[in-house]
Structure 1
């Protein structure tokens, strides 16, 4: 099967009309050749390497002598029976009809994908790559690879929207003519004005076994577009950053699983129930795509995932909650271990009977200012009846030995002098807010303000009488009980 773009088909048709070759009973252009029966005996030699063609040069067509007698067809040197026909110089026995006079003279025939990926062939070169196999496809292109595999063996082939490749299957062997390009730092063969020719099929070879550490952005280039496989028990699903991608950890590094060829999140509900953070696999395979400055494995179908273990039942998101479902139980508004801009924190209690994902939870102060708020950006699962601390600033600037569950950025700064409160919201409403606290000068430096553990209620925490300052040193000199039940005692040095 030969795949041509519409523009290439039109070009070929225009050339044929220009040469007057619509009548197979005459020679091309001259109108004088009549000995078609004798010359047709050697016409099959001109089609070496072609499995299918729609041109009149088919070896079974005994009415056209001109193709077999054309000495400008350099791919077949055994046919010398006719030297009079010099009007057809656009056809080669190896690549089929190019549609342009002499096009293959400047093409880098015999090029391998290794040559393209390792830089031996310059970007912008016309190339002919032969006998490579299809490892994965979508409507506008496909991944192709040398059978031997290994580093630098794969490439993306772009065909555009005019070439119909619906008949192309994984395992098909193809010859590709096109131009080498770099598109958003992904190496590709642009075949949108060239052609893709099926020349056979093979049982797909096994993928190359790699680790996610091999695919990090600093070292992953040799594996770009190569069909690979990662294995570990387990490969944990670590995060759902959006765009139907997900992050996994294979014991060596974190890496992204792409939805370029198949979306598990959109299309895999039946095969992968309760998919989410906490789910796991034992193996994942597919070609390596590159976009947004990351190498990502692109599975092609559900069977490219093996050993699936369901994640925990899906919990609520913050937009499923109502006021009182989350309770603020502690706030560190004046830390001593590090400065306020990096180490303020608040403690949240899940007052529901189910797990809640805190992604999207917003943090404000008493000004209720959306322009100066923090937000939980990634997945953060908080079990029923559990506590978590949310830290201010980026993780890299966090000064405590006890880590926060999430870091909400630079917004929502709490006043050391008091007359302030902590507020948490989902996308539409306030879920909880504390009573106003009063600053105590230097005596409350490094001491958290905590809710009485017997008063964990959305109404009770509105009353400052149910709050006091902490007494427990939690490891760095500051006093508090982050991510745990608050102590009953109050600090005797503070009111």
Structure 2
């Protein structure tokens, strides 16, 4: 996405009013002008083609579950470090061997800013060890004796993890991202059938997500934003005709 331009959006609507006498309609103009500076973006969500290195981070991995078999209970978790929702469709999961899976269109929900997301081999919580998957992949597995997880687009590797057995310890123990790298998840963090981990939940790594959110309510009343770079200008004395929600996002 190109954030260098100052975007000006004008949404205009012609409405009609019936005069008290006769059947004439007098057109009236309603308009709203929304301006914001180049340091902000107006977008519904990002696609994988918009992503840069570090926009998604791998935060936790379960390669060797104990409560269930590997093909039932393997999973890994990521976090969205951006200020935008992300459509993960088209994201490629792979290792340096033959494992490869492209996230299928329509199968992955939007990933909210700052939210965690769990990829797993088995989407059935009754048989995968008792955790909730956000997306079930195929043709991709996590070797117990060391492997790679690579998240990439057509042009960019967003994040990658090269791990060995030393980061897991005994079976049934996940490894999570900390400020100093990957280490064993605390042993009192259990889930489902008793394996140790926190799939889909915040761990010890917690990046700061700074999001400025501005919305237009259903009654078309503008919501003020305490930010000098953003201005909402109302024209012709009528309410803004934008329905729905938009997000302003500060960029570093």
- Alignment RMSD: 2.7
2:129 alignment counterpart: 400
1:439 alignment counterpart: 165
Moved over 6 A (4+): none
Q: 1:348 Cα deviation (Å)?
A: 0.7
Structure index of larger Rg = 1
2:93 alignment counterpart: 363
2:120 alignment counterpart: 391
Normalising by structure 1, report the TM-score.
0.30
Give per-residue Cα distances to partners, 1:70-90, cap 9 Å, x unaligned: xxxxxxxxxxxxxxxxxxxxx
Change (3 A) 1:476 1:322: same
Give per-residue Cα distances to partners, 1:208-251, cap 9 Å, x unaligned: xxxxxxxxxxxxxxxxxxxxxxxxxxxxxxxxxxxxxxxxxxxx
2:81 alignment counterpart: 351
2:174 alignment counterpart: 448
Quick check: which one's strand share is greater? 2
Distance 1:469 1:445 in 2: 11
Query: Given the alignment, which residue of 135, 141, 151 partners 1:413?
Result: 141
| Equivalent residues in 2 for 1:473-488, closer than 5 Å | 473-487=190-204
In the alignment, structure 1 segments of 5+ residues that lack a partner are: 1-269, 271-312, 456-464, 489-495
Q: Secondary structure at the match of 1:382?
A: coil
Change (3 A) 1:476 1:397: closer
Where relative contact order (Cα < 8 A, 6+ residues apart) is larger, the structure is: 2
Change (3 A) 1:361 1:333: same
Distance 1:350 1:389 in 2: 11
| Equivalent residues in 2 for 1:15-414, closer than 5 Å | 314-367=44-97, 369=98, 372-377=99-104, 378-393=107-122, 395=124, 398-409=127-138, 411-414=139-142
Distance 2:108 2:119 in 1: 13
Q: 1:405 Cα deviation (Å)?
A: 0.5
Q: Quick check: 1:331–1:450 contact (8 Å CA) kept in 2?
A: yes
Change (3 A) 1:337 1:355: same
Change (3 A) 1:479 1:322: same
Change (3 A) 1:437 1:315: same
Distance 1:475 1:414 in 2: 20
Distance 1:429 1:337 in 2: 36
Distance 2:58 2:76 in 1: 7
Q: 1:442 Cα deviation (Å)?
A: 9.2
In the alignment, structure 2 segments of 5+ residues that lack a partner are: 1-11, 13-42, 206-252
Q: Secondary structure at the match of 1:316?
A: coil
Distance 2:172 2:72 in 1: 13
Normalising by structure 2, report the TM-score.
0.57
Change (3 A) 1:442 1:396: closer
Q: Quick check: 1:417–1:441 contact (8 Å CA) kept in 2?
A: no
Distance 1:429 1:441 in 2: 26
